[in-house]
Structure 1
Amino acid sequence: MTLLTRRRFLRAALGLGAGGLVLGGAGVAQAYRFGVTRETRALPGLRAPLTVAFLTDLHYGPFIGAGSVRAWVQAANAARPDLILLGGDFMDYFDDGPPTALLDELAALSAPLGVYGVWGNHDYASFGQYATSHGPARANWRARREEMRAAFAQAGVTVLRDENRAVRDDLHLIGTDDHWRGEPNLDAAMRGTGDRVTLLLTHNPDFLDTIRRPVGLGLCGHTHGGQVRLPLIGALTVPANRKFTMGWVQSLNGTPGYVSRGLGVTGLPARNLCDPELLLLTLTP
């Protein structure tokens, strides 16, 4: 057995053991035990500090209900941030019409500079762009995407698709479409930002390595930190470059970013050594 084969065998065996662990109850408990991660980072060019609450990968659907979303919203509001950002994968939702229960909870989010989000790949599945085990592809998925965007706006969440907003005189927020399923265009997203400080909101951290323009800081989700991690091994699988698994990262061109472990779950209603997190980020001049 070659070294590579042994490693694959070990990873598979550990994966089976981890599956037994998480399904045995401990992992289920961890999946619904979120915490607030507090970080501080300098963003040169800011004129005054700014606090951002970052929630991502809610995955409202089979494993995540309105009660979980309500707790996250309450925690975000309790921190009294200046700005609230939502990093995509809002839902695994395949019914007709908008996800009313989710939107009712998100409508309670409140921040002086607004509430903004971007789409993730699971949102595109929910639109019906492609078939999944939960729902068929839809010929009208683009119309459904716009219907969802309007419903989110009605709930107070502005979803950015390759757009930007001047959230403060000294800061432009940039939001891009999903790296896997959307049509992200950073040039379009940054149009009109000039030399202002920029904060990039994008779902998939792999997008950071495609950046060819100066960006102050990126906020991403998508990976769930691996969702199931093992001692000495780390994440069994990561749906991105492993350097982007979680926490502070840096892209090929030097753009710094933070990859959140997210709040929800997919695949299994379980986590291991990878608790859900709500990021409270203080940006300083």
Structure 2
Amino acid sequence: MGILILIILQSIVFGLYTAYRLYQAFFTKYKKLPVIISLLLVFSSFLIVRILVKYCHINVPHNIVFATHIILAVTNYLFMYLIITDIVRIIFKIIHKPFITHKLQLIIVLSATFITVLYGYINSHDTKTAEYNITLNKHLNGELKIAAVSDLHIGADMSPARLEKEVNNINKYNPDIIFIAGDIIDNNIKDFTYAHIDALKKLYAPLGVYAVIGNHDYYSADAATLKSLIEKTNIKVLLDNVTYIQEKGIYIIGRDSLRHTNDNGSKRQNIVSLYNNIEDKSKPVIILDHVPKGLDDGRKINADIQISGHTHDEQTFPLNLIIKILTFLPHGMINDNGFYYFVSSGLGLWGPPVRVGTDSEILIINVKGKDL
């Protein structure tokens, strides 16, 4: 609920400021209040539709939902460019220098916004591959090629056609095993269609495809429903449990979402209790955990690899630069004395269907044991 309140406040502040500045530039011959209210409703359409879908259970057509996502991107960048140019306007006023008219300023801002959003949309669909070569401190039966993705966010932007394209991108690397680190569905389980199921069924790896559930998955349904639906794709969902891959001699710990309380009111199991289910503790351990919360869990159990997502690498400029300063690892890999900790920027998108300063990505991790 706290996040929802923040989004509402952001929508009001961004929307009101942007609406007022647009009124100043283009609509002064009309009555101020109706124009500003109309523009505010447009700029807040993403939030309005989210509330209608989630809390009023109203089915909103896919095209309208997608349009509101675009409007959100436009609103954010309009606001940013307006703030920048208004600061310049204030500076010019302080030093008693003339500045461009409000109308010309808004034309420049609108043009910059259009270019940014168009670039961001194209870039978000240009999936990159981040490839890593790592060597474990433990024995591994042969070599292991992992393909990993996170944050598919099946919904307005992740169409069946795009999902199938990404599945083909993953399969072309011929991975031994595939991991999906949560947020398969955006926020509405009805968006997860048979066409999406058919596309995900085409994921292939000889050692299997494994997934964990993320916070957005839980926005759409409970754990049992999610597990049942996702496993129709032949993906094995790990929900606070452990599985053993005998061919390679590795254990996989799949964690429940950090931001979820189970149906019975209890929180997810701690990492040590899950680790205690492992019989041979000399074997390599891979943790799948949607929300990256640091190195502590891996250190507690002497894990070898963790794969997480959730951050989207903050998806858009300038948030991505701010988060890089304020957070531990919003994206990338850290080698902590043989514990390889990965955070993926994600395959899909939340909210604005744009990526500026970040990329949609597939992780390819080539793993060797200490004796190879």
Considering the TM-score relative to the shorter chain, is it more than 0.5?
A: yes
Please say if residues 313 and 320 of structure 2, whose CA atoms lie closer than 8 Å, have aligned partners that are also in contact: no
Structure whose residues are more often strand by fraction: 1
Q: Could you tell me how far 1:23 is from its partner in structure 2?
A: 5.4
Give the structure 2 partner of residue 220 of structure 1: 308
Q: Could you tell me how far 1:276 is from its partner in structure 2?
A: 0.5
- Seen in structure 2, the aligned counterparts of structure 1 residues 213 and 95 have a Cα distance that, compared at 3 Å, is closer
Give the structure 1 partner of residue 228 of structure 2: 150
Structure 2: how far apart are the matches of 1:162 and 1:15? 42
Structure whose residues are more often helix by fraction: 2
- Seen in structure 2, the aligned counterparts of structure 1 residues 56 and 193 have a Cα distance that, compared at 3 Å, is farther
Q: What one-letter code is carried by the residue in structure 1 that aligns with 2:203?
A: L
Structure 1: how far apart are the matches of 2:194 and 2:142? 37
Give the structure 2 partner of residue 189 of structure 1: 274
* 2:341 corresponds to 1:257: yes
1:281 to 341, 365, 372: 365
- Seen in structure 2, the aligned counterparts of structure 1 residues 171 and 210 have a Cα distance that, compared at 3 Å, is closer
Q: What one-letter code is carried by the residue in structure 2 that aligns with 1:198?
A: V
Structure 2: how far apart are the matches of 1:13 and 1:267? 13
Larger RCO: Structure 1 or Structure 2 (Cα < 8 Å, ≥ 6 residues apart)? 1
Moved over 6 A (4+): 12-15
Give the structure 2 partner of residue 243 of structure 1: 328
- Seen in structure 2, the aligned counterparts of structure 1 residues 260 and 176 have a Cα distance that, compared at 3 Å, is same
Give the structure 2 partner of residue 16 of structure 1: 80
TM-score (norm 1): 0.80
Give the structure 2 partner of residue 3 of structure 1: none
Please say if residues 176 and 202 of structure 1, whose CA atoms lie closer than 8 Å, have aligned partners that are also in contact: yes
Structure 1: how far apart are the matches of 2:199 and 2:240? 26
Structure 2: how far apart are the matches of 1:94 and 1:100? 14
For the aligned residues, what is the CA RMSD?
Answer: 2.8
Structure 2: how far apart are the matches of 1:152 and 1:171? 23
Q: What one-letter code is carried by the residue in structure 2 that aligns with 1:163?
A: N
Q: Could you tell me how far 1:95 is from its partner in structure 2?
A: 4.7
Size of the aligned set, in residue pairs, is 254
* 2:218 corresponds to 1:124: yes
What pairs with 1:5-44 in structure 2 (closer than 5 Å)?
16-17=80-81, 20=113, 24-44=117-137
What pairs with 1:151-170 in structure 2 (closer than 5 Å)?
151-168=229-246, 169-170=248-249
* 2:191 corresponds to 1:105: no
Q: Could you tell me how far 1:209 is from its partner in structure 2?
A: 3.6
- Seen in structure 2, the aligned counterparts of structure 1 residues 264 and 96 have a Cα distance that, compared at 3 Å, is closer
SS in 2 for 1:280: strand
Please say if residues 116 and 158 of structure 1, whose CA atoms lie closer than 8 Å, have aligned partners that are also in contact: yes
Max Rg structure? 2
Structure 2: how far apart are the matches of 1:40 and 1:23? 34
Which consecutive unaligned segments of at least 5 residues does structure 2 have?
A: 1-75, 85-111, 262-266
SS in 1 for 2:178: strand
Structure 1: how far apart are the matches of 2:316 and 2:77? 14
- Seen in structure 2, the aligned counterparts of structure 1 residues 170 and 234 have a Cα distance that, compared at 3 Å, is same
Deviations 1:65-100 (A, max 9, x none): 111211111011111000000011001142559642
Structure 2: how far apart are the matches of 1:87 and 1:22? 32
Structure 2: how far apart are the matches of 1:43 and 1:276? 27
Give the structure 2 partner of residue 205 of structure 1: 292
Q: Could you tell me how far 1:249 is from its partner in structure 2?
A: 2.9
TM-score (norm 2): 0.62
Return 147-156 or 208-217, whichever deviates more: 208-217
